[in-house]
Amino acid sequence: MLHHLRLLVLTRCIGVLLMAQVIAAADIVLPASGSLKVPVGQKMVIRTLGSGNQIYKCDPASLKWTSAGATAELFDDRPPSTNLKDFSQIGNHFFSKDVKPVPIFRIKNREIRTAEIGSEKSPGSPDRIIKLKVTQGTLAKTVFQTSTSGGQLDVQFAGACTKADFGNTIQQPYAALYTFFA
């Protein structure tokens, strides 16, 4: 069991490292046309790489697996050295336990609560870009989630769930770039 845990941790670290190397030098790419624009006057204040799990739960009304939020560790996106210890975690992303969960980011002991205000297909990619506005906190005013990899339900869970699944969750590994503007 310990061997499998070490392999999982190593695989996640390598995946985060590879994704960071690909996107660390890239600027945020938003669709040329559409509503997803950086608000006038706002500048990037921090960019992080999130690595964690998208969470799904069985919805009793529809008997389908539905999104129940996510949890992720946030890492400084600056290219690390070859030493994984230099790849520093600077925060966390998670959802509140409210009836309607709220996306929360906690970075360097500062917390912001957000609300989705738009999403569009990413240029040249099947994933979506999500735009969030900050509703509480002062770290940023706008957050974009881009370059998402993973997090989708496995084919075995893509269909209906059953009453036996009520209360259970499914976690799907994902990584995404989070860019904060103020």
pLDDT at 91 over 90: yes
Instruction: Assign 77 a pLDDT band (cuts: 50, 70, 90).
Output: confident
Instruction: Assign 2 a pLDDT band (cuts: 50, 70, 90).
Output: very low
Spatial distance between the Cα atoms of 44 and 168, rounded to a whole number of angstroms = 38
Q: What is the mean pLDDT of residues 53-58?
A: 95
Spatial distance between the Cα atoms of 19 and 93, rounded to a whole number of angstroms = 18
- 58 touches 166 (CB < 8 A): yes
Q: For position 173, what pLDDT does the model report?
A: 97
Q: For position 50, what pLDDT does the model report?
A: 97
| pLDDT tens-digit series, residues 171-181 | 999 999 999 99
Nearest CA to 127 out of 100, 153, 146 is that of 146
Spatial distance between the Cα atoms of 105 and 102, rounded to a whole number of angstroms = 10
User: In the chain, what are the domain boundaries?
Assistant: 2-181
153 vs 87, which has greater pLDDT? 153
Of the chain, the percentage scoring pLDDT greater than 70 comes to 81
Of the chain, the percentage scoring pLDDT greater than 90 comes to 62
Spatial distance between the Cα atoms of 111 and 72, rounded to a whole number of angstroms = 14
| pLDDT tens-digit series, residues 146-173 | 999 999 988 777 778 999 999 899 999 9
pLDDT at 10 over 70: no
What is the pTM (predicted TM-score) of this model?
A: 0.81
